[in-house]
C-alpha cells in the first residue's frame, strides 16, 4: 500500500489535523489543493488529503483505528478533541471498547481502549518483539 486518501472540501484543516494526530508533517501541497502528509522518516503509506466538491453525507465504509500506546485511551481522546475531533455516534453501544470520533470534516475514526501492550500482554511496543506474528 502506498497512500491512504482522505476526501475533504477544505484539505488544509484536515491535513493539519491528521498531521498533528499522527505526529507527521506536510510533505507536498499540489496546485489542485491536495496535501500529502507522511511520517518524518517517510515510511509508507503516506496520507493524501484530496479536494472534493461535495460534503460527506454518510458513514465511512473504511476508517482508521488508533491505539493510545504510551498513554491512556481517555487521555488520547482528550488530546484528539483538543486538536479538533468531535464525538460521533455511529450506533456503537454503551459497552463499546472504543471511542468513535470524527475529524474536522466528519471522517470517522476510532480510539481503541486497549494498547498493543495490553493486547499482547508483553509490555512490548510491537507483537514481533515477543515472538508473535500479529495481534
Per-residue pLDDT, 70: 82
How far, in Å, CA of 43 to CA of 52, rounded?
26
For 3, other C-beta atoms within 10 Å of its C-beta total 13
Per-residue pLDDT, 131: 44
Where exactly are the structural domains of the chain? 1-53, 56-135
Q: Is 37 exposed, middle or buried (CB count within 10 Å of its CB: 0-12, 13-18, 19+)?
A: buried
How far, in Å, CA of 127 to CA of 50, rounded?
33
Q: What is the CATH number of domain 1-53?
A: 3.30.720.120
- Across the 135 residues of the chain, what is the mean pLDDT of every consecutive 10-residue run? 91 96 94 93 87 89 88 94 96 89 96 67 45 38
Per-residue pLDDT, 122: 53
Per-residue pLDDT, 121: 55
Amino acid at each position: 500500500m502506498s497512500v491512504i486518501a482522505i476526501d475533504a472540501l477544505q484539505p488544509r484543516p484536515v491535513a493539519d489535523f491528521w498531521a498533528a494526530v499522527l505526529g507527521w508533517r506536510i510533505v507536498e501541497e499540489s496546485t489542485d489543493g491536495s496535501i500529502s502528509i507522511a511520517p518524518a522518516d517517510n515510511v509508507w503509506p503516506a496520507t493524501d488529503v484530496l479536494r472534493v466538491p461535495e460534503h460527506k453525507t454518510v458513514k465511512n465504509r473504511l476508517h482508521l483505528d488508533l491505539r493510545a500506546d504510551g498513554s491512556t485511551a481517555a487521555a488520547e481522546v482528550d488530546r484528539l478533541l483538543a486538536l479538533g475531533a468531535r464525538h460521533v455516534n455511529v450506533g456503537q453501544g454503551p459497552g463499546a471498547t472504543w471511542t468513535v470520533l470524527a475529524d474536522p470534516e466528519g471522517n470517522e475514526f476510532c480510539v481503541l481502549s486497549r494498547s498493543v501492550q495490553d493486547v499482547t500482554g508483553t509490555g512490548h511496543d510491537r507483537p514481533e518483539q515477543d515472538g508473535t506474528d500479529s495481534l
